Amino acid sequence: MDARIKYSILLIGVGIILAFLPFNAAQTFQLKADELLSLSGSGDMYFSVDQVARFVNNEDSTIQIIDIRSAEQFRECNIPGSVNIPFSELLNPLWEPTLNQKEIKTIFYGNGNQTANYAWTIVTGMGYSNSYVMKGGLNEWFKTVMLSQYSGEKITPAENARFENRLNARKIFTQINSLPDSLKTRFFDAKRLTQSKLDGGCE
């Protein structure tokens, strides 16, 4: 399918979704449809799973990962370090300081691409810069990070580095998501407190 047709369909879908969300973004959209089409068609909106895995391993403070699935799905499993903002809450003004970042890159992910693409389109249309999508979502994370393996006698240095990156991210993912619910709650509360301080919400 032609890229412009694909992203035109995306914009139509976003328009329908906005009509049913409890918060109104339509009145605050700063970018026109053709501008969004140009940005989305370039492909620059995506980070690969391998790139996100590297961010997780390095505890990169220049990015924030936003899980837009439901709170129930987030508690079940999530990418370590991510913050849960369910898609239905995306336009809640309380989340604006988190999403409207000038220096930090915001990376959205869902189970696949569609909802994260919607989220990117909405926040980018509202003028929030530095927004991206983890291509393939959590489904691709499991395929690439959790299930990938190399076989054979020879592995190139590049393949070895890529596998080590995935293996380390897999270990972190497993460790965090294996915590009891009580410890998970403390971990997520600590993440929210840290985020609140970064946003200027706490002393």
Can you give the CATH number for the domain in which 169 is found? Answer: 3.40.250.10
pTM: 0.78
Average pLDDT, the chain: 81
Q: Over 90: is that where the pLDDT of 127 sits?
A: no
- Evaluate whether residue 203 is within a structural domain: no
Domain assignment of residue 161, given as a range: 3-198
pLDDT grade for 39, boundaries at 50, 70 and 90: low
Domains: count for the chain: 1
Q: Long-range contacts for 168-176 (Cβ within 8 Å, ≥24 apart)?
A: 168/53, 168/57, 169/53, 169/54, 169/56, 169/57, 169/145, 170/145, 170/146, 172/56, 172/57, 172/80, 173/56, 173/77, 173/79, 173/80, 173/141, 173/145, 173/146, 175/80, 176/78, 176/80
Residue 153: pLDDT band by 50, 70, 90 thresholds?
Answer: confident
